[in-house]
Amino acid sequence: MSKNILKVENATMQFGGVVAVDNLNLEINEGEIVSLIGPNGAGKTTAFNVITGVYAPTNGCVWFDEQKIIENHPQGKMKKLYKGQHAGEYTHVTAPTPDVVTKLGMARTFQNIRLWKSQTVFDNVLIAKHLRRTSNLLTATFRLNRKEEEAQRADVERLLDIVGLSEAKGELATSLPYGKQRRLEIARALATEPKLLLLDEPAAGMNPQETNELTEFIGQIRSKLGLTVFLIEHHMDLVMDISDRIYVLDFGKLIAHGTPAEIQSDQRVIDAYLGVAEDA
Amino acid sequence: MKTNNHRKSWIALLIALSMLIVLTLLDNWSGTPAMLLTVLRKGSIYALVVVSMNLLNGFTGLFSLGQAGFMLLGAYTYAVLTVPVEDQSAVYQRYATGGVGFSITETLSGAMGQFGLLIGVIFCLLLAGLVAGVFAWLIGLPVLKLKSDYLAIATLGFAEIIRAVVMYEKLGPVTNGSNLLYGFTNFSDFHIGGLKLDTVMPFIFSGLCILVVVLLINSTYGRVFKAIRDDEIAAEAMGINLAKHKRMSFIISSFFAGISGALLAMYQASVQANTFKASMTYEILLIVVIGGIGSISGSAIASFLFVGCSEWFLRFLDNDTKLKNFNAKLIFAIVFGLVVVGLAALIFRKTRKMERMEKLWRQIPVGLLCLGLVAWDIWFVISPNLKLPLLRSGFRMVVFSVVIMIVVLFFREGIMGDRELWDMKRRRPAANAKAGEPK
The answer to whether B140 and B250 have CB atoms below 8 angstroms apart is yes
* Residues A101 and A215 both lie in one domain: yes
Tens of pLDDT, residue by residue over B353-388, are: 666 666 667 778 888 888 898 888 888 888 877 777
Element (H, E) at B35: helix B34-54
Mean pLDDT of A204-214: 87
> What is the layout of strands, in order, in the sheet containing A18-29?
A18-29, A4-15, A59-64, A67-72
Lowest mean pLDDT among A28-37, B67-76, B416-425: B416-425
The answer to whether A206 and A214 have CB atoms below 8 angstroms apart is yes
Q: Which residues of B touch A118 (CB under 8 A)?
A: 226, 229-230, 294, 418
* Residues A187 and A214 both lie in one domain: no
Distance between CA atoms of A235 and A211, rounded to whole angstroms?
Answer: 8
Is B234 close to A110, i.e. CB distance below 8 A?
yes
Is B212 close to A141, i.e. CB distance below 8 A?
yes
Q: Is the pLDDT of residue B433 over 50?
A: no
Q: Is the pLDDT of residue B30 over 90?
A: no
* Residues A155 and A43 both lie in one domain: no
Distance between CA atoms of B357 and B246, rounded to whole angstroms?
Answer: 43
Tens of pLDDT, residue by residue over B34-46, are: 888 889 999 999 9
Q: What phi, psi does B100 have (nearest 5°)?
A: -90, -10
Of A169, A192, A215, the position where a domain reaches its end is A192
The alpha helices in B218-325, defined as continuous H runs, are 220-230, 232-237, 242-268, 278-291, 296-308
Check CB contact of B429 with chain A, cutoff 8 Å.
yes
Distance between CA atoms of A49 and A98, rounded to whole angstroms?
Answer: 9
Residue B93 binned pLDDT confidence (cut-offs 50, 70, 90): confident
Distance between CA atoms of A188 and A109, rounded to whole angstroms?
Answer: 8
For chain A, give the percent of residues with pLDDT over 70: 98
Of A274 and B263, the one with more pLDDT: B263
Look at residue B409 in the predicted model and tell me its pLDDT.
81
Mean pLDDT of A102-118: 93
Check CB contact of A118 with chain B, cutoff 8 Å.
yes
Look at residue B439 in the predicted model and tell me its pLDDT.
32
Mutate: best of A141, A146, A178, A195, partner B, most B CBs <10 A = A141
Q: Which residues of B touch A169 (CB under 8 A)?
A: none
Is B215 close to A172, i.e. CB distance below 8 A?
no
Q: How far is CA A95 from CA A73, A92, B7, in A?
A: 11, 10, 51
- Smallest Cβ–Cβ distance between A98 and the set B226, B236, B436 belongs to B236
Residue B410 binned pLDDT confidence (cut-offs 50, 70, 90): confident
The answer to whether A238 and A260 have CB atoms below 8 angstroms apart is no
Distance between CA atoms of A45 and A26, rounded to whole angstroms?
Answer: 15
Tens of pLDDT, residue by residue over A12-66, are: 999 988 899 999 999 999 989 999 998 888 899 999 999 999 999 999 999 998 8
Residue B391 binned pLDDT confidence (cut-offs 50, 70, 90): confident
Mutate: best of A50, A109, A126, A130, partner B, most B CBs <10 A = A130
* Residues A11 and A145 both lie in one domain: no
Exposed/middle/buried for residue B282 (C-beta within 10 Å: 0-12, 13-18, 19+): middle
Give Cβ neighbours of residue B434 (< 8 Å, ≥ 6 apart): none
Mean pLDDT of A92-103: 92
Residue A278 binned pLDDT confidence (cut-offs 50, 70, 90): low
Look at residue B357 in the predicted model and tell me its pLDDT.
62
| B249 min Cα distance to partner chain A (Å) | 11
Q: Which residues of A touch B229 (CB under 8 A)?
A: 118
* Residues A8 and A132 both lie in one domain: no
Check CB contact of A99 with chain B, cutoff 8 Å.
yes
* Residues A218 and A87 both lie in one domain: yes
Tens of pLDDT, residue by residue over A141-153, are: 898 888 999 999 9
Give bridge partners of residue A258 from the DSSP assignment.
A246
CATH assignment at residue A275: 3.40.50.300
Q: In which domain, by residue range, is A256 found?
A: 1-105+194-280
Q: Is the pLDDT of residue A10 over 80?
A: yes
Of A157, A173, A192, the position where a domain reaches its end is A192
Which amino acid, one-letter code, is at B140?
Answer: G
What is the DSSP-derived secondary structure letter of residue B292?
-
In angstroms, what is the C-alpha Rg of chain B? 25
Q: Is the pLDDT of residue B345 over 60?
A: yes
* Residues A156 and A212 both lie in one domain: no
Q: How far is CA A147 from CA A126, A140, A144, B186, in A?
A: 15, 11, 8, 42
Q: Which residues of A touch B223 (CB under 8 A)?
A: 119, 123, 126-127, 130
* Residues A90 and A148 both lie in one domain: no
* Residues A24 and A73 both lie in one domain: yes
What is the DSSP-derived secondary structure letter of residue A129?
T
In angstroms, what is the C-alpha Rg of chain A? 20
Buried-exposed string B80-99: b where 16+ CB fall within 10 A, e elsewhere: bbbbbeeebeebbeebeebb
* Residues A122 and A239 both lie in one domain: no
What is the DSSP-derived secondary structure letter of residue A120?
B
Rounded to the nearest 10°, the torsion over CA A186, A189, A192, A198 is -120
Tens of pLDDT, residue by residue over B289-320, are: 989 888 999 999 999 999 998 888 877 777 77
Look at residue A160 in the predicted model and tell me its pLDDT.
93
Q: Which residues of B touch A102 (CB under 8 A)?
A: 237-239
| B235 min Cα distance to partner chain A (Å) | 8
Look at residue B171 in the predicted model and tell me its pLDDT.
81
| B242 min Cα distance to partner chain A (Å) | 8
* Residues A213 and A224 both lie in one domain: yes
Q: Is the pLDDT of residue A98 over 90?
A: yes
Can you say how many angstroms the Cα of residue B336 is from the centroid of all Cα atoms in its chain?
30
Residue B435 binned pLDDT confidence (cut-offs 50, 70, 90): very low
Of A172, A192, A212, the position where a domain reaches its end is A192
Look at residue B193 in the predicted model and tell me its pLDDT.
76
Mean pLDDT of B120-135: 95
Q: Is the pLDDT of residue A280 over 60?
A: no
State the count of interchain CB pairs (< 8 A) between A and B. Answer: 129
* Residues A49 and A147 both lie in one domain: no
Q: Which residues of A touch B438 (CB under 8 A)?
A: 178, 204-205
Q: How many CB atoms lie within 10 A of CB A159?
A: 23
Q: Count structural domains, chain A.
A: 2
What is the DSSP-derived secondary structure letter of residue B322?
B
- Smallest Cβ–Cβ distance between A119 and the set B230, B236, B248 belongs to B230
What is the DSSP-derived secondary structure letter of residue B424?
S
Mean pLDDT of A239-245: 91
Q: Is the pLDDT of residue B431 over 50?
A: no
Residue B100 binned pLDDT confidence (cut-offs 50, 70, 90): confident
Element (H, E) at A94: none
Distance between CA atoms of B123 and A193, rounded to whole angstroms?
Answer: 43
On average, the pLDDT of chain A sits at 89
Q: Which residues of A touch B437 (CB under 8 A)?
A: 178
On average, the pLDDT of chain B sits at 85
